[in-house]
Chains A and B, each alone.
Chain A
């Protein structure tokens, strides 16, 4: 493909490097500044960053090199020219299933190594006998902290992100959530320890288990006394995989054919028990926290339904305003198909004493969470380039007017992987609109669907089988956001 080299502008390149390396420090952790940059300037920096990253990463990430070679792309002259190099999210689960079932972690390591600039294949995994032990070995010996998630097909996806990626991601939450947009940050927003209440696991390789320790680092400034989790154990990726395989087998109509190691299958009851007990334990945990951290500034990352249940009960008992008013609540997620109550926000805000329960859009494969503004738009951080791809052709839709397409992103801050990702989400962006909230950053409209949900015409009948939709419960297991 013929591409035109953009005129080299070293000043812009230097700026791009600052954004790529530590964007929050560069902008003084200033949420309002970050979201009010002129769009033309952002686009220029994004383009410069893309070329810098492409040059650097194609030497380091083998799968990117292959893709770039196949597409004949060495550099890009416009943002859209990068679109063919965005990697489908399926890439991160494109290993043969039997490697996992037969516990061939060395071969899985070789596969994973092609997706990151780090080298998990240098880690000795000969003694590993589970997904948990494999990913722990990688975490201990490399900068990586691989994110594992199990989708509705029963396939476990492994995204080799780094610890630095996680920290950046958590810092993005702190900067965007703790500050009120339109005001300068107060020193405490950046410097103070904030209690992190996460009604999930102490540890794990899925985001539900992994976030805690990074929340402790970033919100609690590393003070273990500021880290509050519900389950004092590691969320097992093996058990999550087992659950996904069981579900997939049941959906296939043959629960007997579950291709996981026998030792894992034997733990089925353990998983089912823990799932059954989970909601009650989480509610009890939140109630404990209400007593323990009364009046303090907290960061809570949870599902809306759980917060609602705790708040409803508290209000019924005559309590309200339990935490400090500048506390931060990130809700959302939760099981799809479970309707949210009409008075959800009102109840949570009144009980917990927060201005607003904030939702965000993000996924394991990205560092950057997009936070919902008062006008119901998810504002995307300036170091993330948004692409809306035509569902038919996969080509980028024009960056003007209101467009709906498959979301794809290039995140220049990606430390371990390439950073270009095609998602399974259908989103809408109005490119010409400046949001009433005052942010200049581009934004996704609140309504986000899975592309797979909307495809397929009405009332077409075929004798040939296509997979049924069985994703609901898995949505919860795969964690927050995307």
Chain B
């Protein structure tokens, strides 16, 4: 009997497609997987007509929550064979390791908690704006605002399997019609969630407004048919220069691009960290939690740690101790949080080994076993290959002033971890001006409220809806036809 081959199922509006399978992937030693030939299903991927959005307005927000709350428990790994299969195959495609993927999948149902979702929606958009018109009187008119669901296409990142689930939730609660183009580094998870939805409620509007498919990003013949203003209104593209770059060619009047650009993250630490063995252990734990969690594949994982300790010889000696503390803390993390990387980037290894010889300027802690490494700079320079830091490898850099650190905070900087409290206000304020987009207490980059609000300097949930305005005159407003000379044409 032939071994079963991994399939990235297309799930189109309540129907699971597993015919006309063709092979994808396999580049650079990756595994190959099968998916329905996208050219054969392309006409069924977009919603046929905006008219078909109406059914989403036959159900209330609470009914959508009911749906998601019912879906959550069905996504428990132990009782869901689709997810079990997807997880098994994802071990090969994911950038992270088995224990971390197991933990992601295990936690999936908790994302569907009814109250958690309700709080997220209210925090972002306001449920009343989704449920009806929010009216007020303004400048002699009654102005109503309502957030309508859009027809949207999501190009989802694959470095964490939670992103597909988050997309499904966001689309459902905003009454969107969602096309999810899954990535080759996570081609199975979203399809498994969608198949569960089909089993649960095949005719439910939320099920009917989800289309999940794989095609090779950049397939122009295919994408030019889907990416048309009569099919979709919004494209939400996560990360990866290549994915965003090839999407931009389809942007035209009628299609809005919501770009969650590729980002990197950093930490800013006060010199107090080196005060004692105790502070070093504490800060070492915090640094490790912010860079090693999920094996540093997320954009929010820290890669550069600036310590405002000065660059004297004594400072550097202490800084090496902090580096050792961070390294030790990384090794202590439980394997559901962090493990030896799946594959240590050979180019990075070569670069790290090069610096190991250059011990006048750098101290390399660990890394001999591809387990991850801490590189301590002896000058205020980040390593030349800082953009390639990954696989649990960070660069700790001593600086004399905060200004030097802010110089490297830019538009590509997402999360900035800050310690101690005394730096909080100034780093948050000046960092935001320089381009930083998220500020957290050091050690809590992955241990906060979740992706509940703004991200990368924008509010994705407020962007995937259409903000519709309605206006009616209040009694007594002069008319153009009777009193045109009294009407001021003000924008």
Contacts and interface: CB of A to CB of B under 8 A. Distances in A.
B25 A461 contact: no
A461 B185 contact: yes
A463 B28 CA distance: 20
Contacts of A455: 28, 347
B260 A463 contact: yes
A153 B390 CA distance: 18
Contacts of A153: 384-385
A94 B297 CA distance: 26
A70 B217 CA distance: 45
Contact of B377 (A70, A96, A155, A459): A96
A461 B377 contact: no
Contact of A94 (B184, B243, B347, B355): B355
Given A257-B410, A465-B263, A457 B346 contact: no
Contacts of B263: 463-465
Interface residues of B, number: 63
B228 interface: no
A463 B239 contact: yes
A249 to B, nearest CB: 10
A462 B27 contact: no
Interface stretch (B116-124, B155-163, B169-177, B315-323): B155-163
Interface string A75-95: 000000000000110110111
A461 B243 contact: yes
Given A253-B411, A459-B217, A463-B263, A394 B349 contact: yes
B360 A394 contact: no
A253 B410 contact: yes
Nearest to B404: A98
Contacts, number: 157
A113 B67 CA distance: 70
B157 A461 contact: yes
A462 B297 contact: yes
Interface string B349-375: 111011111101100000000000000
A459 B347 CA distance: 20
A459 B346 contact: no
A96 B158 contact: no
A457 B185 contact: yes
A468 B241 contact: yes
B30 interface: yes
Contacts of B361: 94-96, 111
B159 A458 contact: no
Given A94-B384, A459-B216, A99 B238 contact: no
A186 interface: no
Nearest to A66: B357
A137 interface: no
B110 interface: no
Contacts of A393: 346
Contact of A253 (B155, B388, B390, B412): B412
A455 B261 CA distance: 21
A457 B357 contact: no
A94 B217 contact: no
B341 interface: no
B184 A97 contact: no
Contacts of B358: 63, 91, 94-95, 111
Contact of A465 (B243, B299, B357): B299
B387 A467 contact: yes
Contacts of A422: 350
A129 to B, nearest CB: 20
Contacts of A63: 357-358
Contact of B216 (A70, A155, A458, A463): A458
A452 B388 CA distance: 12
A465 B264 contact: yes
B298 A464 contact: yes
B387 A457 contact: no
A392 B390 CA distance: 16
Interface residues of A, number: 45
Given A455-B347, A458-B25, A91 B357 contact: yes
Contacts of B299: 462-465
Q: Which of B263, B297, B358, B388 has the most CB of A within 10 A?
A: B358
Contact of B184 (A95, A99, A457, A465): A457
Interface string B211-252: 000001110000000000000000000111111000000000
B236 to A, nearest CB: 12
Interface string B12-40: 00000000000001111110000000000
Given A462-B239, A464-B262, A257 B407 contact: yes
B381 interface: yes
B262 A252 contact: no
Contacts of A110: 360
Given A463-B239, A464-B262, A90 B350 contact: yes
A457 B347 contact: no
Contacts of B191: none
A460 B357 contact: no
Contacts of B379: 96, 98-99
Nearest to A455: B28
B17 to A, nearest CB: 19
A466 interface: yes
B431 interface: no
A451 interface: yes
A456 interface: yes
Contacts of B218: 459
Given A456-B28, A463-B157, A465-B264, A394 B350 contact: yes
A467 B348 CA distance: 14
B157 A392 contact: no
B445 interface: no
Given A90-B350, A391-B346, A70 B410 contact: no
A110 B361 CA distance: 12
Contacts of A460: 95, 158, 183-185, 240
B328 to A, nearest CB: 23
Contacts of A252: 410, 412
A67 interface: yes
B343 to A, nearest CB: 8
B167 interface: no
B390 A464 contact: yes
Nearest to A65: B357
A461 B183 contact: yes
Contacts of A98: 379-381
Contacts of A464: 159, 239, 262-264, 297-299, 301, 390
A468 B297 CA distance: 17
A273 interface: no
Contacts of B216: 458-459
B158 A462 contact: yes
A270 interface: no
Interface string A380-415: 000000000001111000000000000000000000
A254 interface: yes
25 contacts: A90-B351, A93-B384, A95-B358, A95-B361, A111-B361, A155-B384, A252-B410, A254-B410, A257-B410, A391-B346, A394-B346, A455-B347, A458-B25, A459-B217, A460-B183, A461-B157, A461-B158, A461-B185, A461-B217, A463-B260, A463-B262, A463-B263, A464-B297, A465-B412, A466-B262
Given A110-B360, A462-B95, 7 more contacts: A88-B353, A94-B354, A98-B379, A254-B410, A257-B410, A460-B95, A466-B241
Interface of A: 63, 66-67, 70, 87-88, 90-91, 93-99, 110-111, 153, 155, 252-254, 257, 391-394, 422, 451-452, 454-468
Which 3 pairs show the lowest CB-CB distances between chains A and B?
A96-B381, A463-B239, A465-B262
